[in-house]
């Protein structure tokens, strides 16, 4: 197993050298120093998302998710972005705002080939991936609006060639689990179940009392023993589960690799993978990776992660935090052709403040509006 992983490291290093993000303008030059009279102006506002149900995963529960919404004004256009901040991500509204105060985009001209400006953002401070994602998403929105084109077309994707999104059911009582399951019926074609608690089989049986829809499970590192995890996966397969996400602690890669090798279901990395630099070491450990904009600094790096993973023969899924339709719409622009999707974040809240991608026959379909395809539904921003 270790020898195979070393071999894949060499392959992935060669593949990474060929990665490139799509270019917006015909000259294909990188982001240039601004030579126009217009400057990009960054503003932001904190916002708290209200969940429709208490959300419980292995380790904690919550009823709200803090976010910071971002806007970039440029030459009469506005680009929107978002940083979603669940507690396990390690960022807060205060830390995001402190990062944003350090960002000066006035020296740059928006361009789809954003290597220079993205490198500038990444060099401001370590970490802060959600804060960087907020600016990245807003830059993509602005660039697409300059061109008058939605990003799925720039990527060369068919927006209808997408997997069904899962609808997430957190760890809860049988009564609440059955209620959430009934709410999903007729809207979704696959459900995602949070496990890794004290009684996972009870959760599954409660759902199975209501539906035989395919299920994905996410253990959020909750299983600690490899043999017990493998036994559970075999039982889950008999119950119609189709994939398993992050079954064991994120750093326990040797045990996860052995589990994946023996598992009858595909095993996907979530907490074990953050950014592009992590992709190559996941080959031979997991069947596939879950890409989340908030962890990888946004669309620019997410596209590269997708390309690299697929070039290595790995499966790819797109995931989300609890987010507004701003970040969900950004993700929806780049996930056509992936294997799995978990883009229900905006559907779990009661105070979404954007119109964007829509749920159609169990799939999240990107908007045809230019950029990431969103419009705010209320006034959100004031001058900072």
> Are residue 345 and residue 214 in the same domain, yes or no?
yes
Q: What is the pLDDT of residues 48-106, one digit of tens each?
A: 999 988 766 655 677 899 999 999 999 999 999 999 999 888 999 999 999 999 999 98
pLDDT number for residue 10: 41
Cα–Cα distance for residue pair 246/269, rounded to 1 Å: 5
> Are residue 204 and residue 325 in the same domain, yes or no?
yes
Domain range for 68 is 41-148
> CA angle, corner 144, sides to 143 and 147, nearest 5?
90
Q: What is the pLDDT of residues 150-188, one digit of tens each?
A: 999 999 999 999 999 999 998 889 999 999 999 999 999
Residues belonging to the chain? 384
> Are residue 185 and residue 139 in the same domain, yes or no?
no
384 lies in some domain: no
Cα–Cα distance for residue pair 292/320, rounded to 1 Å: 5
Q: Read off the pTM.
A: 0.90
13 lies in some domain: no
* Residue 284 banded pLDDT, cuts 50, 70, 90: very high
Question: Exposed, middle or buried, 63 (CB in 10 Å: 0-12/13-18/19+)?
Answer: exposed
Of 124, 148, 172, the position where a domain reaches its end is 148
Of 148, 183, 203, the position where a domain reaches its end is 148
Of 120, 148, 176, the position where a domain reaches its end is 148
* Residue 13 banded pLDDT, cuts 50, 70, 90: very low
> Are residue 83 and residue 162 in the same domain, yes or no?
no
What's the mean pLDDT in 191-211? 93
| Neighbour count for residue 143 (Cβ, 10 Å) | 26
* Residue 294, pLDDT above cutoff 90: yes
> Are residue 246 and residue 284 in the same domain, yes or no?
yes
Domain total for the chain?
Answer: 2
10 lies in some domain: no
Domain with residue 128: its CATH number is 3.30.390.10
| Percent of the chain with pLDDT strictly greater than 70 | 87
* Residue 114, pLDDT above cutoff 80: no
Taking all residues of the chain, what is their mean pLDDT, rounded to a whole number?
89
* Residue 21 banded pLDDT, cuts 50, 70, 90: low
* Residue 15, pLDDT above cutoff 80: no
Domain with residue 210: its CATH number is 3.20.20.120
26 lies in some domain: no
> Are residue 191 and residue 50 in the same domain, yes or no?
no
> Are residue 167 and residue 125 in the same domain, yes or no?
no
């Amino acid at each position: 197993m270790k020898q195979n992983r070393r071999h894949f490291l060499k392959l992935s290093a060669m593949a990474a050298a060929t990665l490139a993000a799509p270019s917006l303008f015909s000259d294909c030059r990188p982001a240039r120093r601004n030579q126009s009279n217009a400057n990009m102006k960054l503003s932001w506002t904190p916002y708290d998302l209200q969940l429709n149900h208490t959300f419980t995963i292995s380790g904690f529960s919550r009823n709200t998710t803090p976010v910071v919404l971002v806007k970039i004004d440029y030459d009469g256009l506005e680009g929107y972005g978002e940083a979603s901040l669940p507690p396990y991500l390690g960022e807060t509204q205060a830390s995001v705002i402190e990062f944003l105060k350090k960002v000066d985009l006035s020296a740059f001209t928006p361009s789809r080939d954003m290597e220079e400006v993205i490198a500038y953002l990444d060099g401001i401070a370590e970490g802060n991936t959600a804060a960087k994602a907020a600016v990245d998403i807003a830059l993509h929105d602005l660039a697409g609006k300059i061109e008058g084109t939605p990003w799925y077309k720039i990527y060369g994707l068919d927006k209808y060639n997408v997997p069904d999104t899962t609808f997430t059911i957190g760890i809860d009582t049988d009564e609440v689990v059955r209620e959430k399951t009934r709410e999903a019926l007729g809207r979704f074609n696959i459900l995602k179940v949070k496990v890794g608690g004290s009684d996972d089989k009870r959760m599954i049986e409660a759902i199975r009392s209501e539906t035989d829809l395919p299920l994905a499970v996410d253990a959020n590192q909750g299983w600690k023993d490899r043999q017990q995890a493998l036994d559970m996966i075999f039982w889950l397969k008999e119950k119609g589960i189709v994939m398993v996400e992050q079954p064991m602690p994120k750093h326990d890669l040797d045990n996860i690799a052995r589990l994946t090798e023996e598992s009858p279901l595909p095993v996907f990395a979530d907490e074990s993978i953050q950014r592009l630099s992590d992709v190559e070491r996941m080959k031979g450990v997991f069947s596939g990776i879950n890409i989340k904009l908030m962890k990888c600094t946004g669309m620019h790096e997410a596209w590269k992660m997708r390309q690299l993973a697929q070039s290595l023969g790995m499966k790819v899924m797109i995931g989300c935090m609890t987010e507004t339709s701003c970040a969900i719409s950004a993700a929806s622009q780049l996930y056509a052709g992936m294997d799995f999707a978990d883009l229900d974040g905006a559907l779990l809240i009661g105070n979404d403040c954007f119109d964007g991608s829509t749920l159609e026959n169990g799939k999240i379909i990107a908007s045809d509006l230019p950029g990431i395809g969103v419009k705010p539904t209320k006034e959100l921003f004031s001058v900072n």
